[in-house]
Chains A and B, each alone.
Chain A
């Protein structure tokens, strides 16, 4: 980095400018979208009572922030999603380890996993509620159910793809199956595990919202149902936007963890 040629400087400048343009474009879309929405509602082109309006959503948010209910709903949903995610990540990884360890079990259960994987798990939510009750636990179980199968399958695929020769290497030193797992299979599958977590977090959110739509007494999903029932579309739209922000935030957290975890 001692002698940077003018050509390279020019290249870097171009690169930076292009990156800046992309960022600017991304923000522009957001502003134009909300701007048109606001103006169209103000000009009565769309009915703000049905379609809501950014300024009305803002007012609703301020009001809810004042009485604190905003934070209750956000923290309920966020808490459920994180709990669902963490439990499904742990249980799913453990199940994948078990299936890797025991090929007989893996082959026997394979068709069931395949079927469960393609089944839309949200269809099970009403059953869960009947069994577990109209409460937060049902929401969390729905979240786990929605995300765990794909976690198991993604992690297991990662485990199985670890090269035979790397495993053989551990065996040449007299390594046990447990050591094969801890020294090779788990570290070599780190990218697959991270990938599983990325999918898992999104699906846990889906499970939480479906659960909340059906049973909850608090949370953004509850706010959506309740708001639509009493025609408070400002609440509904606000909740949807907050949900997108939460999902984006959690995804960023996973990406940040991923960067720290797999430096290479």
Chain B
């Protein structure tokens, strides 16, 4: 697979009145076109910061994010759905299009297609409070997909859900991303989630973070990922790597 994005020696320090925090020490890796890449790491190691740097919302202290294909657009999905309560699901899904002044009839049709394809067609005129947690998360994903980004950046998108819903929604969202043939960088601190849904897993050390390991996940086809025997092996491996650095 071709590479789409490359991180060169990224570091990030935060300055506050009384302290300086070195969040990221030195991070290098590539993201391949069309893959689902997970980033796992201990709490507070700089995962969200790294995503913000990739998206260009904040600059790194040093290093560089290099886009290897032009033009590359990114869509960012935050930890909580942040659907606006004063907008219907359809209006929420169109937020990005409105902001980028791309709310054309064709794009509107695309959003409607996504909504009905992913089970929200009947709910497009409902308000977010009338939807379940999983449905809201899907609506948030569609809001991100609506602007047709090449790369999706997802920051713990399931952490607000309860465990049962979470398993289901994680698989759902992963299959949507694959079906829409997107590249995705997915941050989580749930190892099993990362192993179950991604092609590769990047393990970060604790703060100031570096890349501790990168795993190619290969699970047998035809079995549910979480039930494959290899799943346990990956899980234990990554768990140990995280533990050593804790």
Residues of A within 8 A of B (CB): 163, 165-166, 168-175, 179, 183-184, 187-188, 190, 262, 264
A171 nearest CB neighbor, chain B only:
B57
Contact for A166 among B76, B84, B96, B127, CB less than 8 A: B84
> Are A187 and B99 in touch, CB under 8 angstroms?
no
- Decide: A264 and B129 in contact? CB cutoff 8 A: yes
B55 lies within 8 A of chain A by Cβ: yes
Q: When the two chains form the complex, which single residue of A165, A173, A183, A184 contacts B80, counting CB atoms closer than 8 Å?
A: A165
Given contact pairs A168-B57, A264-B127, A175 touches B82 in the complex (Cβ within 8 A): no
Q: List residues of chain B with CB within 8 A of the CB of A173.
A: 95-96, 99-100, 147
Residues from chain B with a CB closer than 8 A to the CB of A171 are 57
Least Cβ–Cβ distance between A15 and chain B, in angstroms: 25
Q: List 22 A-B contacts (CB under 8 A).
A: A165-B78, A165-B80, A166-B82, A166-B84, A169-B82, A169-B95, A170-B99, A172-B75, A172-B76, A173-B96, A173-B147, A174-B99, A174-B100, A175-B99, A179-B99, A183-B95, A183-B98, A183-B99, A188-B86, A190-B86, A264-B85, A264-B127
Q: Which residue of B lies closest to A184 (CB)?
A: B84
Chain A interface, DSSP helix/strand/loop, else mixed: helix
User: Known contacts A166-B84, A172-B76; can you find 10 more A-B pairs with CB under 8 A?
Assistant: A163-B82, A168-B78, A172-B55, A173-B96, A173-B100, A174-B100, A175-B99, A184-B84, A190-B86, A264-B86
Q: How far is the CA of A188 from the CA of B44 in the complex (A)?
A: 30
Residues of the B chain whose Cβ atoms lie less than 8 Å from the Cβ of A190: 86
Chain B nearest CB, measured from A167 CB (Å): 10
Q: Mark B20-51, 1 if CB is under 8 A from A, else 0.
A: 00000000000000000000000000000000
Binary interface profile of B, 74-95, with partner A (CB < 8 Å = 1, else 0)?
0110111010111000000001
A-B CB proximity, top 10 nearest: A172-B76, A173-B96, A173-B99, A175-B99, A169-B82, A187-B86, A166-B82, A179-B99, A165-B82, A165-B78
A169 and B100 contacting across the interface, CB-CB below 8 Å: no
Min CB–CB distance A183 → chain B (angstroms)? 7
- Bound together, the chains give a CA A173 to CA B75 distance in angstroms of 7
In the complex, number of A-B residue pairs with CB atoms less than 8 Å apart: 43
Contacts of B98 in A (CB 8 A): 183
Which residue of chain B lies nearest to A262 when distances are taken between CB atoms in the complex? Answer: B86
Contact with A along B128-154 (1 / 0, CB 8 A): 010000000000000000010000000
In the assembled complex, the Cα of A163 lies from the Cα of B75 at a distance in Å of 20
A193 CB → nearest B CB, Å = 13
Minimal Cβ-Cβ distance residue in A for B85: A264
Say how far B159's CB is from chain A's closest CB, in angstroms. Answer: 13
Interface hits, B93-113 → A, CB 8 Å: 95-96, 98-100
Residues of A within 8 A of B86 (CB): 187-188, 190, 262, 264
Q: What's the Cα separation between A170 and B82 when bound, in Å?
A: 10
Contacts of A169 in B (CB 8 A): 78, 82, 95
**B80 contacts across to A, CB distance below 8 A:** 165
Among B82, B99, B129, residue most surrounded by chain A Cβ atoms (within 10 Å) = B99
**Whole-angstrom CA separation of A190 from B85 in the bound complex:** 12
**How distant is A158 from chain B, measured CB to nearest CB, in Å?**
14
Residues in B neighbouring A184, C-beta threshold 8 A:
84
How distant is the Cα of A175 from the Cα of B143 in the complex, in angstroms? 14
Question: Residues of B contacting A165 with CB < 8 Å?
Answer: 78-80, 82
- Kindly provide the distance from the CB of B214 to the nearest chain A CB, expressed in whole angstroms: 26
A174 to B100, CA, bound (A): 7
Interface centre among A165, A171, A174 (most CB of B within 10 A): A174
Which residues of the other chain, A, contact B57 by a CB distance below 8 angstroms? 168, 171-172
Instruction: For B95, list chain A residues within 8 Å (CB).
Output: 169-170, 173, 183
Question: A175 contacts which chain B residues (CB < 8 A)?
Answer: 99
Q: What is the distance, in angstroms, from B71's C-beta to the closest C-beta of chain A? A: 13
Chain B residue nearest in CB terms to A168: B78
List, in ascending order, chain B residues with CB within 8 A of A264's CB: 85-86, 127, 129
Distance of A34 Cα from B143 Cα, bound (Å)? 61
Query: What is the CA–CA distance of A190 and B87 in the complex, to the nearest angstrom?
Result: 13
Q: Report the separation of the CA atoms of residues A165 and B160 in the bound assembly, to the nearest whole angstrom.
A: 14
Give Cα A93 to B95, complex, Å: 25
Residues of B within 8 A of A188 (CB): 84, 86
Q: How far is the CA of A173 from the CA of B96 in the complex (A)?
A: 6
Which one of B75, B82, B147 has the highest number of Cβ atoms from chain A below 10 Å of its Cβ?
B82
Residues of the A chain whose Cβ atoms lie less than 8 Å from the Cβ of B96? 173
- A168 CB → nearest B CB, Å: 7
Q: With the chains together, A172 CA to B155 CA distance in Å? A: 12
Query: For residue B55, which residue of chain A has the nearest CB?
Result: A172
Q: Closest CB-CB distance, B136 to chain A, in whole Å?
A: 14
